[in-house]
Each structure stands twice: as structure tokens, then as C-alpha cells.
Structure 1
Amino acid sequence: MFRIPSVLPILSVLLLLSFWDPSESYLHGPGSLMIENLKFTKPCPEEGHNYHEETGNFLCVIETAPECFTACQDYGCSEWFFLNIVSAHNTTQWSSVRCRCIPRLGLCMYNPVPPEFRDFR
């Protein structure tokens, strides 16, 4: 017996992929999450940590979690993300951690900056 239904899902995926343009994807296209040449710098509290409206990132490293949480609250993020590397009350200084406020969700994120996004050593 000839089985057409088992071939249809594979063909439909191949057809869909033939029209997909990765340059227009959610991560790299217009309105994407990634910004070309996005770099994080050393701490700069005197500049308001250089908040980037489009991504919600503070482009200057914020060295302590409480300082990050305070900065996030200034932009409407009052929930400390449960997967952050430390508690919002931990005062340990970190030299390569980024702070991000996602106002739409009200979340404050605090996680390591990958080396390729650091503009410092």
C-alpha cells in the first residue's frame, strides 16, 4: 500500500523552509532582539548606566544585584527574574554581568555578559 500521509509533513516543512529568509527572523531582522555591534562597557553610574530603550539593556555593567534592581525599578521592572544568578539582595560585586529591564513583562534580569559582547577585559 502506498503511504502518502507520511510524506506530506516532510514536504510541507521543506516547502515552508524554502520561503523562509533568516535575515528577517525574530532574532536578526527588523525589530529584532539582537542589535548589531551591541557592546557592554565598564560601570558608568554617572550616565544612568546607559540604558538602551530598544533592548532594555543597561549597556554599562552594573556590579551588584541591588543596584541593578534599583535601576530596573526606575524603568518599571519590579519583578526579579527567578533564573537570575543571585538574589536581588546579594551585594557581591560582579565585573562582567549585565542588567536588563523588560518593561512589557515587568522583569529585571541579571546575568553574565558573553565575552564577545564585552567592550572591556
Structure 2
Amino acid sequence: MTAALTTTDYKQLTSTISANVRTLKDSVPDVLAGFNAMGKAALAPGAIDAKTKELIALAIGVAARCDGCLGFHTQALVRLGATREEVHEMLGVAVYMGGGPSLMYAASTVAAFDEALAARKA
């Protein structure tokens, strides 16, 4: 397992975000229903399989420096059977496209993926 550059607990982070989103869903249900429908449609397998779509989503999360994206998409990739090698190769492309800031988030993504993988094995 790789050491994290931060002390972020991605499982706790995604749990907290999910709780806050549930609160938001009560306030603006139509907005959240629309967002959820868009996500379901965007990530549905088609010409590109679901795992590849999640790799793309995670690459964008790295480039956008979104901690929640790292947590949610690494967990999804573990569920879809992604390997460390696949995630690391995608991170190479994300760093190439995003430069130094993406490298910093790529390092955090390694920690998030390893955490999700370890949780699944536990």
C-alpha cells in the first residue's frame, strides 16, 4: 500500500458527502433527480464500457482536483474490477494533460484507490 500525501480518509469523505447530498436532495429534489439521471445515463455501458467511463471520470477528477471525485470514482473502479495498473496508467495520462497539479492529485488518487481496494478485501 502506498502512503497518502494527506490524511484524507476517502471512505469517510464519501460518507460525509453522501449525507450532505441527501440533505440537499430534500431541498431540491428535482435538481438531484436530474443529476442522478444524467450520471446514470453517462456511465451506462455503450460503445465505451462502464470501467473505461469511470477511468475517464477519475481522470477529470484528478485534473479538477476534486477530493470527492477521487473517493467515489476509485470506489466505483474497485467494484468494476479495475486494477492498480489500469488506474496508474490512466493517472499517467492525467498528469501528462494536467501537469504538476495533476501529479499531486494523482498521488492522492493512489492512496484513495488503495484504500478502496483494501476495504473491499476486508
**Structure whose residues are more often strand by fraction:** 1
TM bucket normalised to smaller = 0.3 to 0.5
Q: Which has the larger radius of gyration?
A: 1
The normalised TM-score by structure 1 is 0.32
Q: Which of 1 and 2 has higher RCO (CA within 8 Å, sep 6+)?
A: 2
